Amino acid sequence: MLELLKTRRSIRKYKATKIEKEKVDLLMKAALLSPSSRSIRPWEFVIVTDEELIGNLAKSKEHGSLFLKEAPLAIVILGDETKSDVWIEDASIASIIIQLAAESIGLGSCWIQIRERRHNKDVTSEEFVRRVLNIPKNLRVEAIIAIGYPDEKKSFYDEKSLLHEKVYVNQYK
């Protein structure tokens, strides 16, 4: 597990290669196995493979989402706030589980924050994504995970760079 955490990096450049159905299915199984508070499972997921839809989703934020247009797969992470007061945490856990699963099968990924972001001065990113994908009002949009075969290399995390000074034992000091 530590090796997986060391090698997983945010990948924003992808090869044009489509992702095999078996790998998409594996990512969804991993998402559906994600832990959630009291096993309520308030999360839902939209798998997007359509290039035009992905291109539209790439415009969901004022900054930081355009790279999505190059990804062959986007997974939109939703949460039902009427089912759980910790839907954000549960959706976030599912998001990282998807990213770790992607890394484990040779795919790159990158989180795109949607909740509390803006498409433009008049429309939130959440509203924009909701319109593009016809998402019902009872579901909130937490994030989009861009996924594809990496077309960039990034160095692994080095254990020497870990911020051990942020770890305390028994008391904060």
Each residue of 39-64: pLDDT tens digit?
A: 999 999 999 999 999 999 999 999 99
pLDDT average, residue stretch 150-163: 91
Distance linking the first and last C-alpha atoms of the chain: 29
Residue 143 inside a domain? The answer is: yes
Each residue of 70-125: pLDDT tens digit?
A: 999 999 999 999 999 999 999 999 999 999 999 999 999 999 999 999 999 999 99
Residue 18 inside a domain? The answer is: yes
pLDDT at residue number 159: 87
Q: Residue 162 sits in which domain range?
A: 2-166
Closest by CA position to 78, among listed 108, 123, 41, 107:
41
Residue 172 inside a domain? The answer is: no
Residue 96 inside a domain? The answer is: yes
pLDDT at residue number 173: 84
Residue 97 inside a domain? The answer is: yes
Q: Using pLDDT thresholds of 50, 70 and 90, give the confidence band for residue 17.
A: very high
- Say which CATH number the domain at 78 has: 3.40.109.10
> What's the CA gap between 99 and 101, in Å, rounded?
5
- Beta-carbon count within 10 A of 31 CB: 22
User: How crowded is the C-beta side of 21, counted as CA atoms within 13 Å?
Assistant: 0
DSSP 8-class letter at 39:
G
Q: How many domains are contained in the chain?
A: 1
